[in-house]
Every structure is written in C-alpha cells, then in structure tokens.
Structure 1
Amino acid sequence: MSPPVALDPARHGALRFDAAAAGRGRAIAQLGRGEIAVAACDMPLCFAKDGGTGRFNLVALMALGGDNLFAGAGGFHATYMPQAVLLGAFRLAEGGSGLAIDPADASLGARGAALVEGGAATPLVLELRDALRRLVEDVAAAHALAEAFAKHRLLRPWRLVLRRADAREHALDGLYTIDEEALAALDAAAVVALHRDASLAAAAVIAASRHQLERLRQLHDAAHPDARIVAGELPRDD
C-alpha cells in the first residue's frame, strides 16, 4: 500500500480499474454489518481488536498467515468479494472527483474499466465514491453490533494455531469470536432485544462461519502442496 493521491484526470488519464484483480496481498478484510451472511459463505468471520481504540472490528479472514487465498491470476475465487477488498484501491477525498487512489494497488493499471475519459472522471468514479460512502455507514453498523456483543459479554478470544509439516507452529493472535456458551446463557430480556435488531441472527452466522477455517486450509494446501498445514482452534482459556 502506498500513500493515497487524489484522482487527477490530467495525471491518471490512462488508469483503469480491474475489479477481478482486487484483493491481492490482503489477508484480512474489514466488513460491514450487511456483508455478514454473504461473506460467511466462504470465509471465517471474527472480530479484531484495535490496539489504539479498543474497538472491535468485524473482519473476514482470507489467508492463513500468508497471501490472500481467494485472489489469484484468474481473479477472485469466492462467492463474494468483501467491499473493503473491492474498493481497497480507493479512498474518499475532498474536492475534485471526491476520490483518492492507491497507485500501487493491484486493481489499478492498464486493464479494466476506465476511470477517466476525455479528460474527465467517468460515471464509474461516482459509483465507486457512492459505494465507499455506503461501506463507511455499514462498517459503523458493524461497530455498533460489536459493541452490543461486548456489552452482553458475547465475545471471547479465538485462539488459532497453524501446524506445519515440519512441526513448526504459528499462532494467529488478537482475534475474537462469539462465545456460544454465553449466548445460550442470555436472559430473556437480552434475547428479545438482540433478536429485534437482528443481532441474534448475526451472532449465529458469525459463530457458524468459524468452520470455514477448513476451507482456508484446503485452499492453502492446494496452492502450496509442499507446505501443507493443519489449522485448528486451541482450547478455550477460561
């Protein structure tokens, strides 16, 4: 990732956006609340705690300690591409087109849809800007969801370990998942409150998505047959 620069029709007239190339090099994607059900079709969902703010971010895992396992030469091989991945080359900006770009992102180059034509931004730029604004709102909704889960003590550390063929181990730290025991122990008032705003359903999907860890392992082993791994969840440390 390089520092974003404002999209300038004069400087970036030849630049194109290849959505299929998005995601290369990204091991984790922040999610909006509205993405939970679709992202869980392929990826383990969990929460990562921001060390600076203490806020829990809803994320999708797309790798096991390496490169994105869904992004390859032939495109993005998953049922759904998270919006933060699709839009990873762009940022909202003041003035001009309202968009800034990361020139080093894999999705920007000589292939794909034009961002500039005839010396002016194309309608695609407006679509990308609107999509970014919707994502910002959806991520805020995901933060509110995480706060509700934390309030009801429904988050617990998700302790993952990768065991390689040479017996080396690598832990993936700093992740949190739904505490299903705490979920089952909620009182009636909490259950009703979480059900009414669809948080209960979201918790169930996030908890179930942990089993997509096996899909990541399969993708890893297919891509690295000489470096197979065993991925597992360590016992709870209560």
Structure 2
Amino acid sequence: MADMELLDSARHAALRVSAAPDRNRHFVQLVADEFLPAALHYPILFARHPETGDLYPGALMGLVPEENLCLGANGTLAGYRAADLERQGFYVSGENIAIDPGHAALGQGEGDPIFEKDGDAAPALQRIQAALRRLHRGLPETEAFVGRLLAHKLIEPIDLSFRFDNGESLRLDALYTISLDALHAHLPDEAALALFRSGDLQLIYAQTASVRHIPFLARRRNDRLSGLAA
C-alpha cells in the first residue's frame, strides 16, 4: 500500500468523495448478502478473477468495459449502489481506513464531504465505513457460497449475444450463471434441503431471477447507439 495514506480528519478535512467513477464500471463485484437488493435492479452473473481465475459474483451494469447503462439522467444510479462502488478509493489497513489519494472518486471540489467541520465522520464516510464492513465480512462468506455451488456443479456458462439496430454485433464471453435445470433435476434431496436451510437457495433464486434485466441493458445500449439516449 505504498501509494496509500491513512485517513486522518485533520489532514483530509477538505476531502470529498464523488460517484463520478460509477460511469466507468460495467461489472461490479457483489457479496452474497447484496444479492437480494441488487437483483431488483441488475443482472447478477459470475466472472473469473483475472489474477486467480476464481469465480466471483457481480452486478452487470454495462455490456462493454467502461460503460454503465444503469445510470439515471443525473448520472447516478437510480437503484441499489453496491458496497464495492460505495467504497471506491477507500481500503482497510489493519484497524484503520486508508485512501488512494489519486483515485478518481476523491478530490476537494466535486462530491460529498468526508468529515464534518468538527472532525466527525460525515454521512458519506459513514456509508463508506458500512460498505467496508460489509465487504470484510461478506467476501469470505461469498467465497464459501460459490464453493458450494461449484461442489454441486450448479454454475454454467451463459450465452449472451446481441445485435443492435446500427448493425453492431456483440458477444459476451466468460460469464456464468446458476443452472436451475441442474438444481431441479440432478441435485439430491438432502443437498437441496441443506441449501435451503443455509439460505443459499434464496440467493440462487435471486440470481437466476435477476437475468431478466439483461434485455433492459440491451435496449439501453441500442438506444445509445441509435442516438436516442445519453
């Protein structure tokens, strides 16, 4: 963390945080306890970590890198804002919070203040602290959840191909979903009961239902390419 600075109310009294980088996030990592609120607004799919190859879940917000199709007219998310977006530029360092002072979310002009005038945490910092706690707790729980899905052979590739009115074709590879066919047809009853009692079954149905948002993303991109939307 050589480029990081520990957050300090005196040193960073004028620091502000902005949601502007959201516009460049097309796939945002989620932890398992975010599935229910996120599934109301975005497709939840699985991707492979570029360094480890491990599968992890995320909210699909755009169909190409640096494209977020879920922003409202004011440039912010109308729906659920994931913890990984909320904490952009902020990291856990032992018992403290560290910041990347060069991160696009941070500055002294645009955005919400981090500290109140008396040095107490402002609402923006309180949201960031909650997001960091959620990720710290949720990442190992989510890894275990994905491990159980893999053990039961419930994850499969998803075919996402699109053709837009301007003639552009687009295919998304290396994304995965949960197979309801495998769940319903091949999973032993005792395994299904264990998934139910652990709460995994609720997450599975939230994820599989969330793919209904994919056509919305396609329509938004088609409108953009046609010049009908910003």
For this structure pair, what is the TM-score category when the shorter chain's length is used for normalisation? 0.7 to 0.9
Structure whose residues are more often helix by fraction? 2
- Rate the CA distance shift 1:227–1:73 in 2: closer, same or farther, 3 A: closer
Structure 1 segment 13-52 matched on structure 2, within 5 A: 13-19=13-19, 21=20, 23-52=22-51
- Rate the CA distance shift 1:6–1:170 in 2: closer, same or farther, 3 A: farther
Structure 1 segment 80-91 matched on structure 2, within 5 A: 80-91=80-91
Letter in 2 for 1:196: R
Structure 1 segment 54-93 matched on structure 2, within 5 A: 54-66=53-65, 67-71=67-71, 74-93=74-93
- Which segment is superposed worse, 188-197 or 202-211? 202-211
| TM-score normalised per structure 1 | 0.81
Give 1:86 shift: 1.7
Q: For 1:156, what is the secondary structure of its paired residue? A: strand
Do the aligned residues in 2 keep the contact of 1:32 with 1:58 (CA within 8 Å)?
yes
- Measure the CA separation in 1 of the matches of 2:59 and 2:17: 23
Task: State yes or no: 1:191 paired with 2:228.
Answer: no
Do the aligned residues in 2 keep the contact of 1:154 with 1:179 (CA within 8 Å)?
yes
Give 1:117 shift: 5.2
Residue 153 of structure 1 aligns with which residue?
153
Residue 200 of structure 1 aligns with which residue?
201
Do the aligned residues in 2 keep the contact of 1:15 with 1:109 (CA within 8 Å)?
yes
Task: State yes or no: 1:144 paired with 2:134.
Answer: no
What is the CA deviation profile of residues 18-46 of structure 1, one whole-angstrom value per residue up to 9, with x for unaligned ones? 45x45121111100111111111111101
- Measure the CA separation in 1 of the matches of 2:191 and 2:46: 21
- Rate the CA distance shift 1:98–1:86 in 2: closer, same or farther, 3 A: closer
- Rate the CA distance shift 1:111–1:168 in 2: closer, same or farther, 3 A: closer
Letter in 2 for 1:224: L
Do the aligned residues in 2 keep the contact of 1:90 with 1:101 (CA within 8 Å)?
yes
- Rate the CA distance shift 1:149–1:102 in 2: closer, same or farther, 3 A: farther
- Measure the CA separation in 2 of the matches of 1:136 and 1:58: 15
Q: In structure 1, list runs of 5 or more residues that go unmatched.
A: 229-238
Q: For 2:23, what is the secondary structure of its paired residue? A: coil
Do the aligned residues in 2 keep the contact of 1:116 with 1:122 (CA within 8 Å)?
yes
Q: CA RMSD in A?
A: 2.7
Q: For 1:76, what is the secondary structure of its paired residue? A: coil
Task: State yes or no: 1:223 paired with 2:224.
Answer: yes
- Measure the CA separation in 2 of the matches of 1:9 and 1:173: 44
Q: For 2:25, what is the secondary structure of its paired residue? A: coil
**Aligned residue pairs, count:** 224
Letter in 2 for 1:221: N
What is the CA deviation profile of residues 38-77 of structure 1, one whole-angstrom value per residue up to 9, with x for unaligned ones? 1111111011122433321011100011411123561423
Percentage of identical aligned residues:
29
What is the CA deviation profile of residues 63-103 of structure 1, one whole-angstrom value per residue up to 9, with x for unaligned ones? 011411123561423321111112222112247x5231353
- Which segment is superposed worse, 120-129 or 165-174? 120-129
Give 1:200 shift: 1.3
Give 1:172 shift: 1.3
- Measure the CA separation in 2 of the matches of 1:165 and 1:218: 10
